[in-house]
Amino acid sequence: MLTTGEKPGVGTYKCANCGTIVGLDDPEDTLSPCPSCDNTEFEEVCYLCENEASVSGEFGRDFSFVRCETCGKYYLGEPSMWVRHYREEAPREKRTMLSAYTRERFEHGGEPPVLGYPDEDIITGYANKTLAEKLENLIWYATRKSPQFGDSILLEAEKDYPITYSLSPEGFTEILNNAIAQKLIESTESGFKLTEKGWTIGTELMKRREGGQP
Ligand SMILES: [Zn+2]
Ligand SMILES: [Zn+2]
């Protein structure tokens, strides 16, 4: 937990009491009390999803490396520029599509991407994903997470919503409910599991994707 008066460096910080996000765009900036509730405790959050994350900078360089349960791993070039401009350049809907991109790279075992100026092609690409693509990625993810057929797995809307390219945890739940309605996934006592139909589709997808296709 960070406290008012500290100089935690360039980044985005969330008030531990009311959730207000404050940005520091200079390494010499001091954390002030929360502008909304006057609270003095903050946690560092991911630039994209604003959930608690591990963010490390490199001394003397305007560069951040982020490890986030929602977004996977990514580098951000010029985080100070990001903090100054992201509200206009990358409002929440756009940032969430970047989360879909970074999480996808992470799940496919790719090198963490370097983000700079919000890339409109990436954002549009993910914003245009169809329901079929969203469902397919959820089934692929559930299959990859299952050690074997019939095993129960956790699917957590709060941190897994980028898996379905959704804008929010609610969007993830909608896709999950769709998969349940189509009898691809069913709930268990401790989570979810793939049905036989879901498993068949999922293992096909695994083979196809390992074969070099995205
Ligand atoms: Zn506050
Ligand atoms: Zn994140």
Domains of the chain: 2-127 (no CATH), 131-210 (1.10.10.10)
The ligand minimizing its distance to the Cα of 95 is 2
Of 11-20, 83-92, 174-183, 185-194, the least confident? 83-92
The ligand minimizing its distance to the Cα of 103 is 2
Instruction: Mark 21-47 as b/e (b = at least 16 C-beta within 10 Å).
Output: ebbbbeeebebebbeeeeebbbebbbb
The ligand minimizing its distance to the Cα of 17 is 1
The ligand minimizing its distance to the Cα of 39 is 1
* C-alpha of residue 67 to centroid of ligand 2, in Å: 8
With bands split at pLDDT 50, 70 and 90, how would you rate the model's confidence at 139?
A: very high
**Percentage of residues in the chain with pLDDT exceeding 90?**
88
* C-alpha of residue 136 to centroid of ligand 1, in Å: 39
* C-alpha of residue 164 to centroid of ligand 2, in Å: 15
- Whether 213 shows a pLDDT value over 80: the answer reads no
Of 14-18, 117-121, 169-173, the least confident? 117-121
Bridge-based pairing state of the strands 72-77 and 114-115: parallel
* C-alpha of residue 66 to centroid of ligand 2, in Å: 8
Select from 53, 188, 202 the least CA-distant residue to 136.
Answer: 202
With bands split at pLDDT 50, 70 and 90, how would you rate the model's confidence at 114?
A: very high
Enter the tokens of residue 1: 């937990």
Greater confidence (118 vs 122) lies with 122
d(CA 72, CA 80): 21
State pLDDT tens for residues 36-93. Answer: 999 999 999 999 999 999 999 876 688 899 999 999 999 999 999 999 999 888 999 9
- Mean pLDDT over the full length of the chain: 94
Q: What is the pLDDT of residue 57?
A: 82
Give 181: exposed, middle or buried? Use CB within 10 Å, 0-12, 13-18, 19+. Answer: exposed
DSSP-derived secondary structure letter, 179? H
* C-alpha of residue 38 to centroid of ligand 2, in Å: 25
With bands split at pLDDT 50, 70 and 90, how would you rate the model's confidence at 12?
A: very high
Mean predicted confidence (pLDDT) in 100-115: 94
* C-alpha of residue 105 to centroid of ligand 2, in Å: 13
The ligand minimizing its distance to the Cα of 51 is 2
The ligand minimizing its distance to the Cα of 161 is 2
The ligand minimizing its distance to the Cα of 44 is 2
With bands split at pLDDT 50, 70 and 90, how would you rate the model's confidence at 211?
A: low
The answer to whether the predicted template modeling score (pTM) of the entire model surpasses 0.85 is yes
With bands split at pLDDT 50, 70 and 90, how would you rate the model's confidence at 116?
A: confident
